[in-house]
């Protein structure tokens, strides 16, 4: 089974930018799109119609949502205690594939990084029953991976102030928690550098990630930041992240 998965933070619900968002999605031709900041169900329903994807889900109280041309067996939102946003679980029909769409707390400071680390630990605990099977964690993690350059001078002044007040350095705990739990950073698995998804007018931060269990890392064939068509710079402040997954259903069943 080949799956083209697009992760897309559409900024403040996407209202007023539906045409640009639809153009980006149609150009990429994904099988499924997992959204962050998808707080307006009408926008998600409209994008599903504009891109001819018959399956969709969103709710006003949640940041995460989806549209899909693949039949979805089930989807549900989970809200672990202490998390700012719910995460979305999507189970594709006739497969053991589970996709988890998440949006961690924003802002850059020592305190917000501690909150994100708590959120990711709560999510990993909530999905521990899927640990041995094929699944994907994807979305806007709002943090930097260990060892990646933070060019503070390129940040807005108010973010520079938060960083300075909280100790002049950003902790890198959140991504390390995921790696220590046995996951592979999909983009870094294929690309040693780059992957900047934010902001579209001056991309220098990698905030959007895809992780999968290390045992299934070879299922990831491509992972790329989408910077075309031109509409992508009007559609949101994030570039979307596209992954091509080649999943052998028979192998998954044996693994289980």
Tell me if 219 sits within 8 A of 255, measured CB to CB.
no
Angle, vertex CA 58, rays to CA 121 and CA 199, nearest 5: 65
3-state secondary structure (DSSP) of residue 80: coil
Give the CATH H-level superfamily of domain 2-255. Answer: Endonuclease/exonuclease/phosphatase (3.60.10.10)
Q: pLDDT tens across 3-37, in order?
A: 999 999 999 999 999 999 999 999 999 999 999 99
Q: pLDDT tens across 97-115, in order?
A: 999 999 998 765 556 788 8
Which pTM value belongs to this model? 0.91
3-state secondary structure (DSSP) of residue 19: helix
Q: List Cβ neighbours of 137 (8 Å cut-off, separation of 6 or more).
A: 100, 102, 123, 178, 183, 209, 210, 211, 212
**pLDDT value at position 167?**
53
Cis peptide bond upstream of 125, omega within 30: no
Q: Which two tokens stand for residue 6?
A: 């697009």
**pLDDT value at position 256?**
47
The 10 Å Cβ neighbour count of residue 132 is: 11
Query: Above 60 in pLDDT, residue 160?
Result: no
Going by C-alpha positions, the residue among 35, 9, 22, 3 that lies closest to residue 197 is 9
pLDDT confidence of 147, banded at 50, 70, 90? confident
């Amino acid at each position: 089974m080949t799956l083209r998965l697009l992760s897309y933070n559409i900024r403040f619900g996407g209202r007023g930018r539906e045409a640009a968002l639809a153009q980006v999605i149609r150009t990429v031709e994904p099988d499924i799109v997992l959204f962050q900041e998808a707080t307006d169900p009408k926008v998600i329903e409209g994008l599903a119609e504009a891109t001819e994807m018959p399956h969709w889900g969103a709710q006003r109280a949640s940041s995460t949502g989806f549209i899909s041309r693949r039949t979805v067996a089930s989807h549900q939102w989970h809200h672990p205690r202490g998390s700012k946003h719910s995460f979305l679980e999507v189970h594709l029909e006739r497969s053991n594939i589970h996709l988890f769409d998440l949006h961690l707390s924003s802002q850059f400071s020592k305190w917000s990084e501690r909150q994100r680390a708590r959120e990711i630990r709560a999510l990993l605990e909530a999905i521990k029953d899927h640990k041995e099977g094929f699944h994907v964690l994807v979305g806007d993690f709002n943090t930097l991976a260990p060892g990646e350059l933070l060019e503070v001078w390129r940040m807005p002044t108010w973010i520079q102030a938060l960083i300075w007040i909280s100790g002049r350095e950003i902790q890198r705990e959140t991504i390390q928690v995921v790696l220590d739990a046995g996951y592979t950073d999909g983009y870094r698995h294929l690309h040693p550098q780059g992957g900047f998804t934010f902001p579209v007018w001056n991309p220098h931060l990698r905030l959007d990630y895809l992780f999968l269990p290390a045992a299934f890392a070879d299922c990831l064939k491509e992972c790329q930041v989408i910077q075309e068509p031109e509409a992508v710079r009007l559609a949101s402040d994030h570039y979307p992240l596209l992954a091509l997954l080649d999943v052998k259903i028979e192998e998954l069943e044996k693994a289980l």
